[in-house]
Amino acid sequence: MIGESATWRNWHLYGYGRDTTPEMDKLAANGELVVFRDVVSVGCLTSAEVRRLVTDCPFEREWQSRYSLAHILAKAGIDCSIASAQPVGAWSKTDVLYALFNGCSKREYSKIDIGVGAANFCGHDHKMLPVLEEWLSGKASGGRVFFVHLCGSHFPCESEYLNTIHSAEWDEDTVDDATRNLSEKARRLVNRYDRAIHYEDMVLGRIVELLKQNSRPSLMLYISDHGESPQRGHWRDYSAAECYEVPFICWLSEAFRELRPELAERLEAAKDKPIQPDEMFGGFLEILDVHLADPAKQPPSFLDPTFKGRFPRLIRNGAVQYPGDIPAKRQ
């Protein structure tokens, strides 16, 4: 699950005051969820961050990669599919993203018209649910991987669905502890953003329900590409730490935990590690139990107890240190 424009600072699951993530909160309370608490993106551009997640590209040159996760899975004989709420051609980046998933046997892309300034971008992720349900109901002789790319909470968070259909406890003018000390513009942005986060949580909850109904050993990974900064009165302040602080969660079914108990333990042990997306590729291969023909080319896994990632971490495409890794900021 590739999220869009979500910062963990606005997730109740991570300590935010508003109840923005009731579905994920329930899963966590039941011990079904592993919550990674220290993941920081490198940049704030979807095309670059998704590439860092699903290819073996080097940190400094995200456009240079030898292979993508979808291509490796296809060569390993694992059927994979992509359902994207982001339409091909919505931005110049989406054609690039389309190429990253060429190894998928089935591909379903949204045909929405995002409108001028992306006004209609959010609020369409639930339309991917019937597609995923159909794919899950199909017969399979082996393991399957489904990539789902969401529209998430990308600005301006004001589509017709979010404005008129999806319900949350706050509207654009709500004043409470989360918005009381903000400017009027920032308050409106935060209210819209939190409503989009609440909607995304609902979609994730329904996906977990579909996986539970399927009864096969299942695992769902969700990570956002980057965050936003609505509290500052504009959507994306590239100097703001929250634009790089992303939620990363993992849900495991009971059957999956029984099938691979050692993996469940390694996931729990790694949840507080400082990680960046370009360091996750090897971990994804371990989770999928996929090994390259040449062991020397197997990328390191962030789940390995000996793994030591980049620290201090770099953001703004490597230009500056992430402020959360500066000791004075951590105190």
Record the tokens describing residue 327, joined without a space.
Answer: 């000791």
- pTM score, two decimals? 0.93
pLDDT digits (tens, 9 = 90+) for 200-242: 999 999 999 999 998 899 999 999 999 999 999 999 999 999 9
- DSSP codes of every residue in 6-52: --GGG-GGGT-SS---HHHHHHHHTT-EEEE--BB-S-S-HHHHHHH
Report the sign of the C-alpha dihedral through residues 61, 298, 33, 252, in that order.
Answer: positive
Distance (Å, whole) CA 29 – CA 82: 30
Residues 6 or more apart from 163 whose CB is under 8 A from it? none
Query: In the prediction, which pLDDT does 329 show?
Result: 44
Please tell me whether residue 219 adopts helix, strand or coil conformation.
Answer: strand
Residues 6 or more apart from 212 whose CB is under 8 A from it? 218, 253
Cα angle, residue 139 at apex, residues 135 and 143 outer, rounded to 5°? 80
For the domain covering 2-330, report its CATH number: 3.40.720.10
pLDDT digits (tens, 9 = 90+) for 248-294: 999 999 999 999 999 999 999 999 999 999 899 999 999 999 998 88
Q: pLDDT per position in the chain (331 positions), as tens?
A: 999 999 999 999 999 999 999 999 999 999 999 999 999 999 998 888 998 999 888 776 666 677 889 999 999 999 999 999 888 765 555 566 777 888 899 999 887 776 655 666 777 899 899 999 999 998 877 889 999 999 989 888 877 677 666 777 888 889 999 999 999 999 999 999 999 999 999 999 999 999 999 889 999 999 999 999 999 999 999 999 999 999 999 999 999 999 999 999 999 999 999 999 989 999 999 999 999 888 888 889 999 999 988 889 999 888 899 998 976 444 3
- Taking alpha carbons only, the member of 192, 209, 201, 114 closest to residue 157 is 192
